[in-house]
Amino acid sequence: MKRLFLFILVLIFTNHQLSFAEDKNKKYEIGISTGIISSSDVWVSLHGDYINQNANFFLKGYFDYFIIPELSFGLYTNFTTISLEKDIYVFDKVIKKSGTPILEFGGSVKPRIELSEKLILKPGASAGYREYFGEDDFTTWKGFSLDGSAELQYLLNDQLKLFTELGFLFQPYGGNKDTDVTFDPTLYLVVGVSF
């Protein structure tokens, strides 16, 4: 932890200090981050009830292309796992409590707002495709994702920015031929770097 703190301090005080005016010249931005996704209730129609999903780690990456300095269109990917409190039995089928990997990718739109010389706010909206890689056909699901976010960036130097992002994931439609699977907006919080 001390090494990470020292690394961040070195980044802050080395190289050319960047201002928002200079950052506006960039045509694209790549970001990577990690954090946590909150617990949520997942609706499985064949089960006829909600299934509680525990809080878990969350990874996110994005590529934003600025069509004008104040607006970007981009691509993103998210990765996490479902971790349940217990195995859920649905007739002769089982949804295991152990983590089911989830991969999501899609497109986003983000305005870029200058808060100060060093702080940038990027609210965003995105839509995409989500897939659950279950152990069998019953627990392999697909979904349509609608997400929202607010990313706060701090400009470190001419190459790097630190950021934190608070957002939500939403799945209004999904499942497979056996069952519908949906969930209400679920919060996540990540920290990362962009360049």
The pLDDT tens digits of the residues spanning 82-135 come to: 888 778 888 778 887 777 899 999 999 999 999 999 999 999 999 999 999 988
CB 146 within 8 A of CB 13: no
Q: Please tell me the distance from the alpha carbon of residue 6 to that of residue 11, in angstroms, as a whole number.
A: 9
Per CATH, which fold does 16-194 belong to? Porin (2.40.160)
Q: Please tell me the distance from the alpha carbon of residue 141 to that of residue 1, in angstroms, as a whole number.
A: 38
Would you kindly state where each structural domain of the chain is located, as residue ranges? 16-194
Q: How much is the pLDDT for 145?
A: 97
Beta partners for residue 44, in sequence order: 49, 181
Q: Structure pTM?
A: 0.85
